[in-house]
Structure 1
Amino acid sequence: MTTIAVLGNGRVGGNLATALTRAGHQVTAVDRSPGEAAAAARAAEIVINATPGAGSLERLGALREELHDKILVDVSNATTDGPDGLPAGLLHPGSSLAEQLQEALPGTRVVKTLNTMLFPVMTAPATLAQAPTAFLSGDDPQAKQTVRDLLTDLGWRTEWITDLGGIRTARATEAAVLFVPHVIRAEGFTPFAISIAR
């Protein structure tokens, strides 16, 4: 059992918190209030960033002390929104939210994952007709192994998880969010994920 704090209790955070609790972990899900987030992060071994990506850097940067020596799992994408509320552009072109978080939190081990799919797939990958892919980006191999184990608890098979390498590789998976609005407009909000076919 691992002690996990999920920052953000909307659809993404709530979904992850429920599934990880069901898998036997001790999970606390908190909203964006700084006091609750700080207390939860301080008590956790692993912290999951499920806050809206546009404000994640500021929110988590304020938790530098609480996040020191923790694993931070970043599942958010930092985007600008179009008139319909769907992603229209990247807030960190030429970089990524995960890279910015790692730079702002040098004592924290940041791992990017689960950001290339609609949120229901994060905790139910086997429900798709084709095998999805969960990508890992991060500079610390041990932290990535820990996150890989969490993904397994969420139903991800080993062969569905691809380690892309260091944190800089997160800019590729974060850019994949630009597919999302076009797929949604074409097909609706039916769950889908980016997949590597082999």
Structure 2
Amino acid sequence: MTTIAVLGNGRVGGNLAAALTRAGHEVTVADRAPGAAANAARTARIVINATPGAGSLERLAALREELHDKILVDVSNATTDGPDGLPADLIYPGSSLAEQLQEALPETHVVKTLNTMLFPVMTAPATLTQTPTAFLSGEDPLAKQTVRELLVDLGWHKEWITDLGGIQTARATEAAILFVPHVIRSIGFTPFAISIAR
């Protein structure tokens, strides 16, 4: 059992919190109430950023002390929205939210994952008709191993998880969000994931 704080109580955060609780972890969900995120992060070993990516950097940079030496799992994508509310462009072209977070929080172990799929797939990968891929990006091997084990608890087979390397590789997976609005307009809001066919 691991103590986990999920920052963000929308569809993504709520879905992850419920699944991790079912897997036996002690999970706290922080809403937008003043001090809620700081209190949750302070007592957790792992913190999951499920806040809207456009405001994540500012929110999390303010938690530098609480996130010291913690694993920060970033599942968000920082994008601007188009007129239909779907992602239109990247906020950090040539970089990524994960890289910005790692730079702002040098004493925190940032690991990017689960950001290349619609949120239902994060906790139910086996429901897709084809094998999905969960990517890992981060500087700390031990932190990535811990996150890999967390993914297994969420139903990801070990062979479905691909470690891309350092945090800079997150710019590739974050850019994949630009596929999402076009796919949704084409096939509707049907669960899907970006995956590597082998």
Q: TM class by shorter-chain length?
A: over 0.9
Q: Kindly provide the CA deviation profile for residues 98-137 of structure 1, in whole angstroms up to 9, marking residues without a partner as x.
A: 0000000000000000000000000000000000000000
Q: CA deviation at 1:31?
A: 1.1
Letter in 1 for 2:18: T
Name the structure 1 match of 2:44: 44
Q: Distance in 1 between matches of 2:101 and 2:148?
A: 20
Q: Distance in 1 between matches of 2:103 and 2:190?
A: 35
Letter in 1 for 2:24: G
Contact 1:5/1:47 (8 A) holds in 2: yes
Name the structure 1 match of 2:13: 13
Name the structure 2 match of 1:23: 23
Query: Identity percentage over the alignment?
Result: 86
Contact 1:57/1:97 (8 A) holds in 2: yes
Name the structure 2 match of 1:84: 84
Name the structure 2 match of 1:195: 195
Q: Distance in 1 between matches of 2:174 and 2:102?
A: 15
What's the TM-score, normalizing by structure 1? 0.99
Equivalent residues in 2 for 1:17-166, closer than 5 Å? 17-166=17-166
Q: Distance in 2 between matches of 1:192 and 1:52?
A: 20
Q: Distance in 1 between matches of 2:143 and 2:33?
A: 27
User: Gaps (5+ residues) in structure 1?
Assistant: none
Equivalent residues in 2 for 1:152-191, closer than 5 Å? 152-191=152-191
Q: Distance in 1 between matches of 2:32 and 2:62?
A: 12
Q: Distance in 2 between matches of 1:143 and 1:76?
A: 18
What is the aligned-residue RMSD (CA, Å)?
Answer: 0.5
SS in 2 for 1:114: coil
Q: Distance in 2 between matches of 1:124 and 1:26?
A: 20
Q: CA deviation at 1:72?
A: 0.1
Q: Kindly provide the CA deviation profile for residues 129-174 of structure 1, in whole angstroms up to 9, marking residues without a partner as x.
A: 0000000000000000000000000000011000000000000000
Alignment length, in residue pairs?
198
Q: CA deviation at 1:32?
A: 2.5
Q: Distance in 2 between matches of 1:79 and 1:127?
A: 27
Q: Distance in 1 between matches of 2:45 and 2:158?
A: 23
Q: CA deviation at 1:33?
A: 2.9
What's the TM-score, normalizing by structure 2? 0.99
Contact 1:32/1:51 (8 A) holds in 2: no
